[in-house]
Amino acid sequence: MQTKSLKIIILSLVVVILVILGWAPWLTNAKVREIITANPKFKYQYPSKIGPENLGIHVLSTPFCRWVTTYEGGWFVCFWQGLKNNSQYNDRLVQSIKDGYCKKYYDGCNTCEKMGIDEVCTEKYCSEFDEPKCLDEIKKYSSAQYGFQYSAGYVVEESKELPFVLVVRGSKGRVEIFKNSDFKDPLTKKEGVRLHGYSSSGFDEYESELVPKEKLDIGGHGVWLFYRKGDAQTMEEVRGIFTSIQVK
């Protein structure tokens, strides 16, 4: 008799648990919308000025899950996703990776790759997010004077003669690093005065080879960035190298 009663109690508990999980009262419409809108895909599909309350998200209750649809597609959000303490999409860290020298990166859910001014990403749905990271092969340069990072598509060329100029060269752009005191105007004695080429025709292909697009300075050292006008990808790459430079 006691065994039978115990079986009934256990069976009743199982039924209650299944009913609660099937009902999943914690999966409110607001919670489901929060989980869906955390997906990085929505950050690309919808303008930031459109709040979550204005998105065309429709929620249909089903046992154990919710069926969520937008004009872009549909997803199941199930009871365990609402129970988890979901890690949040790290906008700031992802943006810092995108602004750097990284061509290919993992944003914690999807893999993205820069194609010029455009960006191509996988469209996987994630309710939880890992740590974002750059997927490029990153190399490190270190000498008595400088330290910096650069992607595998670039090579470092060291001057064999004085005045010393360090060149980080890629297929479409380059970075030149030098000590300002090594270059002086013979008349004014002003430091950091270097001559460079110029475009007699005005065509961009000459300018990208001869004329630096940006002349920067870091700790008494000049840094020139070369890239073609309108080449956003190369511009980001050489700027990324610049931001990683450490003068010793």
Would you say residue 61 has pLDDT above 50? yes
- Tell me if 204 sits within 8 A of 211, measured CB to CB: no
Instruction: Indicate the range of 59-73, 99-113, 198-212 predicted with least confidence.
Output: 198-212
Please give the structure tokens belonging to residue 68.
């969520």
Q: pLDDT over 70 for what percent of the chain?
A: 72
Q: What is the pLDDT of residue 39?
A: 58
Highest-scoring range by mean pLDDT, 8-17, 81-90, 172-181: 172-181
DSSP 87-147: PPP-HHHHHHHHHTT-SEEE-SS-EEEEETTEEEE-----SS----EE-S-EEEEE-SSEE
Tracing tokens 């943006």 back to the chain, one arrives at 95
Burial state string for 185-213 with b = 16 or more CB within 10 A and e = fewer than 16 = eeeeeeebebeeeeeeeeeeeebbeeebb
Residue reference for tokens 């750059």: 134
How many C-beta atoms surround the C-beta of residue 75 within 10 A?
17
Report yes or no: 101 and 150 within 8 Å, Cβ to Cβ: yes
Confidence of residue 156 (pLDDT cuts 50, 70, 90): very high
> What CA–CA distances, in Å, run from 24 to 20, 81, 173?
6, 10, 56
**32-52 pLDDT tens trace:** 777 766 655 555 455 444 444
> What does pTM read for this prediction?
0.50
The rounded radius of gyration (Å) of the Cα atoms in the chain is: 28
Nearest Cα residue to 129 out of 83, 97, 85: 85
Least confident span in 33-47, 57-71, 94-108, 146-160: 33-47
| E-state strands within the chain | 58-62, 65-70, 73-78, 104-106, 111-115, 118-121, 133-134, 138-142, 146-151, 155-158, 165-169, 173-179, 214-218, 221-227, 246-247
